[in-house]
Amino acid sequence: MFAEAQSPTHITASELDAYLERGWFRMGQTIFTTQFIHFKSTMYNTIWLRVDLSNYTADNTQVKLFKRNAKFTTHIRPATITPEKENLYSRYRASVAFQPSESLQHLLYGHSEEISVFNTYEVAVYHVGRLIAIGYFDLGETAAEGIVSVYDPDYKKYSLGKYLIYKKMEYCKALGMHFYYPGYFVPGYSFFDYKLSIATDSLSFFKLSSKQWVSIQLFDEAQTPLALMKQKLQEVKTNLDYLQLPTQLVNYEFFDANLIPDLRTADLFDYPVFLYASAIEENGIYPIIVFDVYESRYTLLACMGVWQPQSNNTDPAFFSECILKVLQPIYTTISASEIAIALLTMTTK
């Protein structure tokens, strides 16, 4: 599955390490993974990152930031939420172009009442007694994950977001931690690119196809899961165009439905893009072709709609008619021409 979430009632330090190793991350009081995201009707990959602290030494950016911000006072301690911190978060939230969580309380604890299954610490930065930045991170046994870093917009020129990340990494390295996980970046969506300039010599990304951590120096946007899926499915569409079977290559609006608490056990279809022929949809059954980046294979699936939204995405590049569930695989192959013929055969039955 590409999108999964769990809500553990207890998680040990070593269990958190294992989740992070597999490309999972913390959200509220849940732990989740997703490989895709969409902003403003565009689908993107989420590429998970980690820093090898055992190989990391302070880079030039860290040295310059620490020197520049030496006038600030920094405290690292177990995490708390106070009105002062919520006020800072509100100011930060109003200054950014995207829509973050409604509050620190919701971001860290979701709907619980400050009862956390995670061992969360904070980095608080003060200037003459004024709180100007706050960052939260979770400690595992040999790894840590950075949750959020926020700062007072009046102090934007001090790069406090990066400064907080470096402070977290410095603290974790001093504890003997092996890895620091800063979350994901999104190729083609520049807001997250700042993570790529931190600890570049020790930075790696989670390669989905092999489920391995690979040096960021080897990252190739053309080989991301979404790019490969689109490329391979376009090859099938070209074959089907030649066979005169009209098909649509679409983004799937509900690719992350498995993250919704009430739907987590439903095992829903979660591919971000797929190819289908709406002309042969019968009895609510959708014949859908996907490309599996794990196995490098095409599969023709019989899917059904299990829920219809009150309104659809009007963008024709998105399929939003219903949430889909796989009934059964019909045919699988490594060949674009063979999977095209398999779909065409369904139209002649």
CATH number at residue 172: 3.40.630.30
Are 257 and 236 in a shared domain?
A: yes
Instruction: Point out the domain boundary residue: 165, 191, 219.
Output: 219
Which strands, in side-by-side order, build the sheet including 47-52? 73-78, 120-127, 130-139, 143-151, 179-185, 47-52, 203-207, 212-215
pLDDT at 309: 83
Instruction: Count structural domains, the chain.
Output: 2
The whole-angstrom separation of Cα 108 and Cα 25 is 12
Are 160 and 258 in a shared domain?
A: no
Are 316 and 196 in a shared domain?
A: no
Task: Give residue 312's domain range.
Answer: 225-347
pLDDT at 114: 62
Are 209 and 243 in a shared domain?
A: no
Q: Can you tell me whether residue 95 is helix, strand or coil?
A: helix
Q: Do residues 87 and 42 make contact, with C-beta atoms less than 8 angstroms apart?
A: no
Are 193 and 248 in a shared domain?
A: no
pLDDT at 346: 80
The whole-angstrom separation of Cα 26 and Cα 311 is 31
pLDDT at 280: 62
Least Cα distance to 199 among 55, 45, 74, 68 occurs for: 55
What is the full per-residue pLDDT of the chain (349 aa) written as tens digits?
788 999 899 999 999 999 999 999 999 999 999 999 988 788 999 999 999 999 999 989 999 999 999 999 999 999 999 999 999 999 999 887 667 788 999 999 887 666 789 999 999 999 999 999 999 999 999 999 999 999 999 999 999 999 999 999 999 999 999 999 999 999 998 888 989 989 999 999 999 989 999 999 999 999 999 999 999 999 999 999 999 999 999 999 999 999 988 888 888 999 999 999 876 666 778 999 999 999 999 999 999 998 888 877 788 899 998 999 999 999 999 999 999 999 998 877 6
Q: Is 295 exposed, middle or buried (CB count within 10 Å of its CB: 0-12, 13-18, 19+)?
A: exposed
pLDDT at 115: 78
Residues 241-269 as b or e (16 or more Cβ within 10 Å = b):
eeeebebebbbbbbbbbbbeeebbeeebb
Are 119 and 46 in a shared domain?
A: yes
pLDDT at 349: 60
Q: What letter would DSSP give residue 129?
A: T
Are 137 and 172 in a shared domain?
A: yes
Are 160 and 295 in a shared domain?
A: no
Are 48 and 195 in a shared domain?
A: yes
Q: What letter would DSSP give residue 282?
A: B
pLDDT at 311: 77
Q: Do residues 61 and 194 make contact, with C-beta atoms less than 8 angstroms apart?
A: no
Are 209 and 296 in a shared domain?
A: no
Angle of CA points 19, 141, 56, to nearest 5°: 90
Residue position matching structure tokens 């939003």: 320
Instruction: Point out the domain boundary residue: 200, 219, 238.
Output: 219
pLDDT at 18: 97
pLDDT at 38: 86
pLDDT at 204: 97
pLDDT at 277: 85
Are 157 and 253 in a shared domain?
A: no
Are 98 and 204 in a shared domain?
A: yes
Instruction: Point out the domain boundary residue: 174, 204, 219.
Output: 219
